Amino acid sequence: MLVPLLSLSLPQSPPPNIVFIVSDDAGYGDFGFTGSLQIKTPNIDSIANEGVEFTQGYVSGPVCSPSRAGFLTGRYQSRFGHEDNLAIGEVQPGDQREDIGLPVEERTIADYMKAQGYTTGLVGKWHLGEEDKFLPKSRGFDEYWFLPGGSRPYFDQKVGKAMAIQSNYDPEPKVTYTTDDFGAQAAGFITRNAKKPFFLYLSYTAPHTPLTPKPEDEEEFAYITDNRRRKYCGLMKGLDRSVGVVLDALKTNKLDQNTLVIFINDNGGQIQAGAVNAPYRGMKGTFLEGGTRIAYAMKWPGKIKAGMKFDGRVSTLDILPTALGAASQGKSYEVAKPFDGVDLMPYLAQSKSGDPHETLYWRMGFTGAVRDGDWKLIRMPDRPPMLYNIKQDPQEMNNRFAENPNLVANLFKKLFAWEKDMIYPRWNTAPVWYQDNAQRYDRDGLLTQPPGKPGL
C-alpha cells in the first residue's frame, strides 16, 4: 500500500534520528513528570518538558510481550495472535516452543526504518521470541546488544541463553549493571552512527524484577521502610541516570536538535514489585487505567513545541507511524499491512484536531476492553462487566454498568466487531496466569495517591 502524503516544498533538512526509549513495568506515578513525590527523574522529565507529555497515552497490551508486539508493528497484536505474554516454559500443553514469537509475517519498526535508509539498532530487552527466526537480526536491526528474554539479573552472573547478552558488534558483551550498560551501549550506537540517520530502540529491563538496584541508588530512599518499594525506587534512579547518558550522547554529537526522542513505559506498574500507578487504579495485566495508561512523552526540537500537554487519546501503536512519518519527510512510503496507529505529528502541529483515537481496543485471553469516547467497558471472565466514565472517574471507582444497559450493549457490539478482524491467540501462558490475571483486578485501589516522603 502506498501512502501518498502532501509533497509541499518541505525544507531539505536531513531526516531526523529517532531514539525510542522504553522502561519496563514502571508505575504510572513513578516519574517526575507524571507526579511522583518520591522519585526524581529529571532526565526522563526533560523529554516531556522539552516536548510533549501525552496525558492519555495507552499501550495496546497490559503485559510486556504483547505490548511490544503492538508498538513495534503499529498493529493490534491480536491481529496476528500475539496476544498472551511470552513466557516460554510456562506455556500450556499443545503449544510449540518454535511457534512462540512475533510472527515472521509482521514487519517491525526497524524493518520500516531500514527501508527509509536508516541504520537501526537495538539495545536491551527483546522478549519477542527466542528462536532464530524471531530474533532482532531477522527483524530489521543492523546492530544489537540485547537479551532475547523478558528480564535478567541486573548484575553480572551466569545466566541461561534467554538472559545472556548477544551482540553482533561486541564479541564479548560484559555486564556490569545492565541499566548503565544499556545506556553506554546506546550512547556508543549514537556516536558510531552520528553521521547518518539512525533509529535506536533502547529497551530497558528496569524497573522490572529482580529488585536489585545498585546499592548506592538505594541510599536516597533509605527512609522507605517497604523493602520492595525502596529497591524499586533505586532501580528507577538508575534508569533515569542511564537515560541521561543517552540524551547527553545526543548533545555531545550535536544531534539533539534533529532527533525525535520518544519515551514510554511498556505497561502498567507491577504493584507487588513496588510500583505505584497513582493516580490510577489497577496494575500490569489489567485493562484498568493502571494497567494500560502509561508515562508517554516525545521531544523533537523545533517540530514539537516545548512544554505541551496533549490530552487526546493516543496509543503506543502510534509510535511506528509517527516515526515513519518523521523519517519519510512527507514522501510516500510502502506499508506492508495497515497500521492501527496514526502519525501523531499533525495533531501536535495542530493541523489535525480531535482525538487521534476515538476508540481503542484491548484483548488478552478471555478478557477484553474497549474505550470509546469517555467510556470504557471491561469484559471479564470471572465477574460481570465493568463500565467506567474515564473523564468523570479516572480512578474507575464507580462501575456504572447497571445504569447504562444500552451503552453497555453497544460497547459489547463494538468490541466484538473489532474482534472480527483478530485471530485467536497463537499460544497461551499456562492456565495459572489466566487466573492470576483476573485476580489482579482485585489488587488495586491501595495507591491512588502518589506517596510522598516519608512515603510508604
Contacts 24+ apart (CB under 8 A), 367-373: 367/287, 367/437, 367/438, 368/287, 368/415, 368/419, 369/287, 369/292, 369/415, 370/411, 370/414, 370/415, 370/418, 371/58, 371/313, 372/411, 372/414
CB 148 within 8 A of CB 97: no
Which residues contribute to the site for a second copy (CB under 8 A)? 80-81, 92-94, 96, 99, 103, 365-366, 368, 379-385, 402, 405, 408-409, 412-413, 415-416, 419-428, 431, 434-435, 438
Residue with cell 543492523: 142
Q: Which of 232, 226, 205, 245 is nearest to 42 (CA)?
A: 245
Of 174 and 420, CB closest to a second copy? 420
Residue among 259 and 428 whose Cβ is closer to a second copy: 428
Residue 143 contacts residue 168 (beta carbons within 8 Å): yes
Sheet with 308-315: list strands edge to edge. 166-167, 143-147, 119-125, 198-203, 17-23, 259-265, 296-299, 52-58, 308-315
